[in-house]
Structure 1
Amino acid sequence: MGVCYSRLLRSTALIAAGLATGLANPSPSQAATPAVVAGDGVLCDLTRTLSGGATDVRCLIPPGADPHHFQLTPANRRDISNSELVLINGYNLNPSLSRLDGNFELIAVGERAVPNNPNKDPHLWHSPANTGAMANVVADALQQLPINAESKQALKRRQQNVIAILKDLDTWNRQQISTIPADHRVLVSEHLAFEFFTDRYGMRHVAMIDDYATGGTLRPSSLRAISNAVKASKTKVLFPEQFPVSKTMKRISRSSGKPIAKNLVFADGTAPGKSLIETATSNTCTVVNAQGGSCNQASAERLQQRWSAVQ
């Protein structure tokens, strides 16, 4: 009986020692998953797609929310304080995120990806070429986190797939826009958010409020100037960025005689419940179909299927 009891004590001691060693020196499979915070919906989808579960990605700004006026919640602050890496767009897209400080690496992805940006326009992702550059910055940052060699190799594969899909999105956009009659290749919206899109594809952009309303105020002289610019642009419609449509846009519509498009163009991130690719193709199809072109929805869905299959 004494021998059995002694063996039991020794076994218990060995198990305890083994547990203590395991806690002190966790194996790669036991190590905590690195926490990453992504500022807005575009970065969130991009980071999660690239990460593929190798990191714990938390998103701050929900799809459809206005990043320009976003304020951090206590839960946001906890996520940030517990993270190893915080990714923001930069160029003052999210003013509340530009002054973050803590025991983490803060990267302004857009500023690294697109340093040549004279107007400091934060809406970089409306050009897939810019989004591809942002993907490379994010992937490089994720590679620096404490993830195992297998995860690093998988990350490289996902990066290659993401870049390939974005290049095909760029080609697809160009093909769809080419179906719009030349006179109608214009995007008339309220704000200067689509310059990278229109510049990329040889379109004209009229930003009704930012270009013509002093301080955002629509005076009678401003209304006349906007109406004249809208008529001269030969656009078929005005493109809203939010529903319900603002009173200002309704006034401009009445004054210019141009109807308001039935579908939104999403200026400041991903659409609610939609991926980066779904939002981009939706924006393109909204513009193309409203301006007299023909958008290939089936090929847009194939791009999304490829995006969803990245792993």
Structure 2
Amino acid sequence: MALASRFHLGAVALLLFLPALSPGAHAAKPNVVAVDGTLCDLTRTLAGSSVSVTCLIPPGGDPHSYRMKPSDRQALSSATLVVHIGFGLTPVAKKISSRGQVVAVGELAMPNYRGNDPHVWHDPANSAAMISVLAGKLAAVVPASQRASVASRAAEAKSVFSSLGSWAGQQFGTLPSAQKVLVTDHQTYSHLARRYGLKEIAMLDSYSTGGVLRPSSLTRITQAVKASGAKVIFTPALPANKTLKRISRSTGLPIASTPLYAEGVAAGQSAVSTSVSNVCTMVNGQGGRCNRAAADGLIRRWSAIR
């Protein structure tokens, strides 16, 4: 066989073993950085496999005191898009430097909000509004062939949060009017309280100076809590801190046996399952009844978004 023929056959054989390549098959995925825990879950859910998503604040982390690590700065330096809640939730977000667009998603979703509680996602309607903003921003960075998929996932995600909002209203509806009370240490749930007609008593925000519990503050808190109809004091962590234990002794109210997850997504949970846990903890603590079977269906719907 001629040398040229043998070379031709060898080249053909080699090609048979090579994977088929399509244009852009090795193109790098867009890098999106989600600063805050709740936005991390929302972003990953909407983005699917077409985007590489990096989350800076881990589940259970505190956005208020978060400090960037060298690995975070590296992720930000290569990001195509950076998203955070805004409203001062994560102060370090103001110092972000990135070649990509930096978006305060909550502020775009709620342009008319002028309050001082940045924990906007506790009202499911606000989360749904943020999903709309996120979907638009992601559509600008994903390949054109993936935009319809992002829109489809966003539609289902908004539907889940709409159902979550209705479900939560039904659970709070099991509480007598006098027991629609939420006693916590700091103001965190004002958006949820306003949505469902709850009276929020954020003790250290409302009755102390700089979070310092003086004897006069304790007296005022005790009077307010006893007159409120509260059955329990909700805590952001267990064991509860000394201040909450002191207030518990002065008011005679127990501290809830299950903590509330105020600052984002609980460890091992999603944005939806964390919200469900919080609502059930509040409702059961105040003497209502929480329908977990229906809630579990919402959690499954969220997990099934692809």
What interval of TM-score do these two structures reach, taking the shorter chain for normalisation?
Answer: over 0.9
3-state SS, counterpart of residue 270 of structure 1: coil
Q: How far did 1:2 drift?
A: 7.4
What residue in structure 2 maps to residue 289 of structure 1? Answer: 284
**Residue 276 (str. 1) matches residue 264 (str. 2):** no
Over residues 92-116 of structure 1, what are the superposed CA-to-partner deviations in whole Å (9 max), with x where a residue is unaligned?
A: 1111122212211100001101112
In 1, Cα distance between equivalents of 2:207 and 2:235: 17
**Residue 113 (str. 1) matches residue 118 (str. 2):** no
In 2, Cα distance between equivalents of 1:27 and 1:94: 40
What residue in structure 2 maps to residue 170 of structure 1? Answer: 165
Q: How far did 1:3 drift?
A: 4.7
Percentage of matched positions with identical amino acids:
43
**Structure 2 residue corresponding to 1:200, chosen from 195, 201, 210:** 195
| Root-mean-square deviation (Å) | 2.1
3-state SS, counterpart of residue 86 of structure 1: strand
What residue in structure 2 maps to residue 240 of structure 1? Answer: 235
Q: How far did 1:265 drift?
A: 1.1
Q: What residue identity is the alignment partner of 1:254? A: R
Question: Structure 2, unaligned stretches of length 5 or more?
Answer: 16-20
Provide the aligned length of Structure 1 versus Structure 2. 302
Q: How far did 1:181 drift?
A: 1.4
In 1, Cα distance between equivalents of 2:109 and 2:117: 13
- Which stretches of structure 1, 4 residues or more, deviate above 2 A after TM superposition? 1-8
Q: How far did 1:7 drift?
A: 5.2
In 2, Cα distance between equivalents of 1:7 and 1:276: 59
In 2, Cα distance between equivalents of 1:69 and 1:194: 19
Q: How far did 1:52 drift?
A: 1.3
In 2, Cα distance between equivalents of 1:44 and 1:99: 19
TM-score (norm 2): 0.94
Over residues 206-235 of structure 1, what are the superposed CA-to-partner deviations in whole Å (9 max), with x where a residue is unaligned?
A: 000011111111110000011111111110
3-state SS, counterpart of residue 92 of structure 2: helix
What residue in structure 1 maps to residue 4 of structure 2? Answer: 4
What residue in structure 2 maps to residue 262 of structure 1? Answer: 257
**Structure 2 residue corresponding to 1:37, chosen from 33, 36, 39:** 33
What residue in structure 1 maps to residue 55 of structure 2? Answer: 59
**Residue 28 (str. 1) matches residue 11 (str. 2):** no
3-state SS, counterpart of residue 206 of structure 1: strand
Q: How far did 1:29 drift?
A: 2.7
Q: How far did 1:291 drift?
A: 0.7
**Structure 2 residue corresponding to 1:250, chosen from 245, 248, 254:** 245
Q: How far did 1:182 drift?
A: 1.2
Q: How far did 1:5 drift?
A: 8.4
What residue in structure 1 maps to residue 18 of structure 2? Answer: none
TM-score (norm 1): 0.92
2:30·2:141 contact (CA, 8 Å) conserved in 1?
yes
1:28·1:148 contact (CA, 8 Å) conserved in 2?
no
In 2, Cα distance between equivalents of 1:102 and 1:258: 48
1:237·1:259 contact (CA, 8 Å) conserved in 2?
yes
1:33·1:56 contact (CA, 8 Å) conserved in 2?
yes
In 2, Cα distance between equivalents of 1:215 and 1:4: 86
* 1:108-147 mapped onto 2 (5 Å cutoff): 108-147=104-143
